[in-house]
Amino acid sequence: MTVQTPPRRGADVSATALYCYGVTAADTASPLPGAGLGGASVEVARFGELAALTSAVSAGTVRARRRDLLTHFDVLGTAFEAGTVLPLRFGIVFADERAVVEEFLRPRQDELVGLLRELAGHVELRVTAHYREEAILAEAVRESPRIAQLRAATRGGAAAGHPALLELGELVAAEVQRRTAQDASALLERLRPLARRHELDQEPIEYQVLRASFLVERDRVARFDAALEEFARDNAGRIDFKYVGPLPPHSFVSLGDGGR
């Protein structure tokens, strides 16, 4: 889809606009030569204690190619090594530096400064847990006599169209769902005490036990690692994990309505 960039106020239309990656504290912000979208340099737009990380893009539209998305992510990651960062969602552009300050940093100053303080010293850790299909299905067969019975009755080449197949599938689905709820809450119970906040991705995805982000103090990351490690060991062979971080707090930033 294509949407026009906001109309410029009073100024003549120029060929460039400023793409904005995120906000950081003015005292930790520094330019990143050549690191921005399309190889442009990441510059710093300052206002008081705040600094927005920006780079020039062609006005009109921003492409979201693979490398553009990764660039956005990487700029934030680099800035995060120097200090607290408030990541913006991909695809936010201002007319020029004045607009970054007047339409964003100034009207949102208090909120942004508050978020920077609140999130200082914290990282986002992202946890995704998936069942191994074969393991979880085997559990369902072993522990539900009815599933085992229906499976025995419907196995083999002649099973297609067998009326019991539907009942079997429904029972297996329910069993997987039941285990998912159980394992997800057990996992959360272990991790939640070590995190300041957490955000669950709610979409039910096949064999996914949990997909969530945790806001964790830097000096508690090792304990978080250990807790997740222990859970992973207890569930070895049945649940696989993807564990990513420390990331800037993508999942833990939001602004209230208004402020413009």
Partner 1 sequence: MAIATQGTASNYLQRAPSPSGLADVVDLILDKGLVIDAYIRIAVIGIELITIDARIVIASVDTYLRFAEAVNRLDLTQTEAAGLAELRDGGGGNGGDKAQGVFEGMKEKVSGRD
CA distance 83 to 25: 7
Q: Give least dist CB 33 to partner 1, A.
A: 21
- The alpha carbon dihedral of 20, 22, 23, 28 has a sign of negative
Measured from the CB atom, the residue of 189 and 229 that comes closer to partner 1 is 229
Q: For the segment 84-103, give every residue that binds partner 1 (CB under 8 A).
A: 86-94, 103
Among 113, 179, 186, 246, binds partner 1 (CB under 8 A): 246
User: Does 228 sit near partner 1 (CB under 8 A)?
Assistant: yes
Binding of partner 1 by 247 (CB under 8 A): yes
Query: In the bound complex, what is the minimum distance in angstroms from residue 226's beta carbon to partner 1?
Result: 8
CB of residue 17 to partner 1, shortest distance in Å = 8
Q: Would you count residue 37 as binding partner 1 (CB under 8 A)? A: no
Q: How far is the CB of 104 from partner 1 (least distance, A)?
A: 6
Q: Answer whether 246's CB lies under 8 Å from 221's CB.
A: yes
254 binds partner 1 (CB under 8 A): yes
Instruction: Name the minimum Å distance from CB 228 to partner 1.
Output: 6
Short-list 185, 232, 240, CA closest to 207: 240
For partner 1, the binding residues in 138-197 under the rule CB under 8 A are 138, 140-142, 147, 151, 154-155, 159, 165-166, 168-170, 172-173, 176-177
Return the structure tokens found at 127: 């946890």
For residues 165 and 73, give the distance between their C-alpha atoms in angstroms, rounded to a whole number.
46
According to CB under 8 A, which residues from 106 to 145 bind partner 1?
108, 123, 125-126, 128, 130, 132-135, 137-138, 140-142
Q: Is 58 exposed, middle or buried (0-12, 13-18, 19+ CB in 10 A)?
A: middle
Q: Which residues contact 157 (CB under 8 A, 6 or more apart)?
A: none
Token pair listed for 230: 């222990």
28 part of the interface to partner 1, by CB under 8 A: no
Rounded distance, CA 159 to CA 240, Å? 32
* Number of residues engaging partner 1 in binding (CB under 8 A): 96
Q: Please state the closest distance from residue 258 (CB atom) to partner 1, in A.
A: 9
Q: How far is CA 7 from the centre of its chain?
A: 31
